[in-house]
A and B are shown apart, each in its own frame.
Chain A
Amino acid sequence: MCTENVILEVSHLKKNFGNHEVLKDIDFKVHTGDVVSVIGASGSGKSTMLRCINLLETSTGGSILYHGEDITNPKIDAPSYRAKVGMVFQNFNLFNNMTVLENCMVGQIKVAKKSKAQAREKALQFLQKVGMSAYVNAKPRQLSGGQKQRVAIARALAMDPEILLFDEPTSALDPQMVGEVLEVMTTLAGEGLTMIVVTHEMAFARDISSHVIFMAEGCIREEGTPKQIFEEPKEAETREFLARFRNV
């Protein structure tokens, strides 16, 4: 990996909830076009790390450089930073008071200050991409989980994010719907979108990512290419963790 096109540089990131140290000294970099998968046991701090990167959680130490600028500085304009760093949640978090189309337009209009016509065109383009353009008039409550998640991805994409964060995007889905969401994500990865994906889908992490991070107890225990992590893991903890997924 080269160093010029670093988008995110996380160094010595710490996060405490009270006296509970959830993140201890996290260091990693994300370059343009990287697809970083984050794996690890439940409670190891994966979600907390993503939420710190998106400023939904305030970190308690260290720095997160976005194009060299430290976004953990309290003076940073969090909303305009977030507009460039998209997030897809485990529970979709679609706006329940809006239709599918409105969900994908509202951010463009209110935040990016686009015209309605432009916003609609772009929303449709991305809804088409995730295969949801037939559902523009539906409300979130009328959709299945997999459909909701695809709309949530379209909503995030419509903001033209430079990097997209996924927090277990398929964990709340019925097994038969996991595939349709992973398919969309695979397409995006293929098109060069920069992504950080927290996932329990080991096959996806192995086949799609350019880089894999294994977290345990608030630390990055091991990282490397998918080949290094999945085929020749160095740490015993990594091997133990992966063994649990072998026969799945």
Chain B
Amino acid sequence: MISNMNFLERIVYILQKYGTSYLKGAGTTLVIALVSTFIGCIIGFLVGIVQTIPVDKKKDSLPKRIFLAVVNALLRIYVEVFRGTPMIVQAVFIYYGMSQVFNIQLGMWQSAFLVVSINTGAYMAESVRGGIISVDPGQMEGAKAIGMTHVQAMINVILPQAFRNILPQIGNNLIINIKDTSVLSVISIVDLFFVHKSVSGALYTYFESATIVMVIYLTMTLITSRLLRLWENRMDGDENYELVDVMDIGSQLGKKRARG
């Protein structure tokens, strides 16, 4: 039986018996991490954009200024609360709180996506705000000087640069989420960590199962960071550019070619 096997034999045994469970768990972990990071980024961008709307005491009406001030205060509270408390507690708080206080029965899946998304959103909001502020103010002035509105300047000039600035942080959040979804086992989400707990509970093979799970987590995070690095490089584009022959400029345009 399993008690007579050595370390490697146990790992093989566990994988034969529970391999698909681990893979399913890993799949669940990835799906929650990817979807929630995506939604979290959208939340983060919306919050960051609202927080950087300029207010002009002279030109903006009083109701508009008050409305913005109230919204900004609420957003601050959101960011502070969700950055300042552990996600494991937030998960329990939302899963049970929604049903007891608001009488909304959230499934554990909905809770899982909700918790990880708004948690990521809180972190991303700060990153986005920082990313927007760190774009040279001259970019906004250049955009305004050719007649763009604040919204046009944000969409065409500022946000693309802010996005590039914070892409490493988005990647960071994704990797953190891949690891941190493990806390969702408190609301019975069958993710990779939940599978580990079940398997080691049934076979008493804590070390072997943990080894397997470590390897799977590490594989997922390594691949993720590699892909993100590729994406960053792609966004930066070619280091070189091709000089275009003035004579046949029309036909040459739009084609992307690298030199050197």
Q: Which of A26-34, A77-85, A191-199 contacts B (4 or more CB under 8 A)?
A: A77-85
Q: Which residue of A lies closest to B250 (CB)?
A: A124
Q: Is the CB of A139 within 8 A of B147?
A: no
> Given that A93-B138, A138-B241 are known contacts, is A58 also in contact with B58, CB under 8 Å in the complex?
yes
- Shortest C-beta distance, B190 to chain A (Å), equals 42
Complex interface residues of chain B between 139 and 156 (CB less than 8 A to chain A)? 139, 141-149, 152, 156
CB–CB A110/B148 < 8 A: yes
Given contacts A96-B161, A133-B244, contact A89 B152 (CB under 8 A): no
Asked if A89 and B141 sit within 8 Å, CB to CB, the answer is yes
* A97 and B246 contacting across the interface, CB-CB below 8 Å: no
Q: Which residues of A contact B147 (CB under 8 A)?
A: 79-84, 107, 111-112, 159
Number of A-B contacts (CB under 8 A): 102
Query: With a CB–CB cut-off of 8 A, which chain B residues contact A152?
Result: 142
Residue-wise, chain A 123-140 has the 8 Å CB interface mask toward B (1 for contact) of: 010001000011111110
Whether B56 and A95, one on each chain, are in contact in the complex, defined by CB atoms closer than 8 angstroms, is no
Q: Which residues of A contact B253 (CB under 8 A)?
A: 101, 120, 136-137
Q: Is the CB of A54 within 8 A of B139?
A: no
Instruction: Give B39-75 as 1s and 0s: 1 = Cβ < 8 Å from A's Cβ atoms.
Output: 0000000000000000010110000000000000000
Within 8 A of B (CB), among A165-201: none
Once the chains bind, are B58 and A86 in contact (CB under 8 Å)? no
CB of B164 within 8 Å of the partner chain? yes
* A99 CB contacts on chain B under 8 angstroms: 241
**Chain B 233-260 residues near chain A, CB threshold 8 A:** 237, 240-246, 249, 253, 256
**Measured CA separation A142–B258 after assembly (Å):** 14
| Complex contacts, A58 vs chain B, CB 8 Å | 56, 58-59
A101 to B254 CA separation, bound complex (whole angstroms) = 10
Cross-chain contact A139 with B241 (CB below 8 angstroms): yes
A154 to chain B, nearest CB (A): 12
Please judge, given known A-B contacts A56-B145, A133-B244, A134-B243, whether A124 and B249 are in contact too, CB under 8 Å.
yes
B86 surroundings in chain A (CB, below 8 A): none
- Judged by a CB distance under 8 angstroms, whether B160 is at the interface is yes
Enumerate chain B residues within 8 angstroms of A138, measured Cβ to Cβ: 241
- Confirm or deny: A94 has a beta carbon within 8 angstroms of a beta carbon on chain B: yes
Asked if A87 is an interface residue, CB under 8 A from chain B, the answer is: yes
Q: Which residues on the A side are within 8 Å of B242 (C-beta)?
A: 137
User: Is residue A150 within 8 Å, beta carbon to beta carbon, of the partner chain?
Assistant: no
Determine whether the beta carbon of A93 is less than 8 Å from that of B142.
Answer: yes
Nearest Cβ on chain A to B149's Cβ, whole angstroms: 5
Q: Does A11 contact B (CB under 8 A)?
A: no
Indicate if the CB atoms of B161 and A97 lie closer than 8 Å: yes
**A142 and B241 contacting across the interface, CB-CB below 8 Å:** yes
- B210 interface residue (CB < 8 Å to A): no
> In angstroms, how far is the closest chain A Cβ from the Cβ of B131?
13
For the complex, what is the distance from the CA of A74 to the CA of B61, rounded to whole Å?
10
B residues near A89, Cβ cutoff 8 Å = 138, 141-142, 145
- Does A242 interact with chain B (Cβ within 8 Å)? no
Across-interface contacts of B161 in A (CB, < 8 A): 96-97
- B157 interface residue per 8 A CB criterion: yes
Known: A120-B253, A135-B241. A86 touches B156 (CB 8 A): no
Q: Which of B139, B146, B164, B243 contacts A82 (CB 8 A)?
A: B146
Is there an interface contact between A110 and B243, defined as CB atoms closer than 8 Å?
A: no
Chain A residue nearest to B137 in the complex (CB): A93
B152 touches A110 (CB 8 A): yes
Residue on B with the closest CB to A59?
B58
Contact (A87, B145) CB under 8 Å given A93-B139, A134-B244, A139-B241:
yes
* A1-36 contacts to B (CB < 8 Å): none
Instruction: Report which of A95, A112, A137, A139 forms a contact with B142, defined as CB distance below 8 A.
Output: A95
List the A residue with the shortest CB-CB distance to B255: A137
Given contacts A135-B241, A137-B242, A139-B237, contact A159 B146 (CB under 8 A): yes
Chain A residues contacting B56 (CB-CB under 8 Å) are: 58
Closest to A87 in B: B145
- With A93-B138, A134-B244, A136-B253 known as contacts, the answer to whether A82 contacts B145 (CB < 8 A) is yes
**21 pairs of residues in contact across A and B, judged by CB atoms under 8 Å:** A56-B144, A56-B145, A58-B56, A58-B58, A79-B149, A80-B147, A81-B147, A86-B145, A87-B145, A89-B138, A89-B145, A93-B139, A93-B145, A95-B139, A96-B136, A96-B139, A111-B148, A124-B249, A135-B244, A137-B253, A155-B146
List the 4 closest A-B pairs by CB distance, nearest first.
Answer: A83-B147, A93-B142, A107-B146, A87-B145
Question: Could you list which residues of chain A lie within 8 angstroms of chain B, going by C-beta atoms?
Answer: 54, 56, 58, 74, 78-84, 86-87, 89, 91-97, 99, 101, 106-107, 110-112, 120, 124, 128, 133-139, 142, 152, 155-156, 159
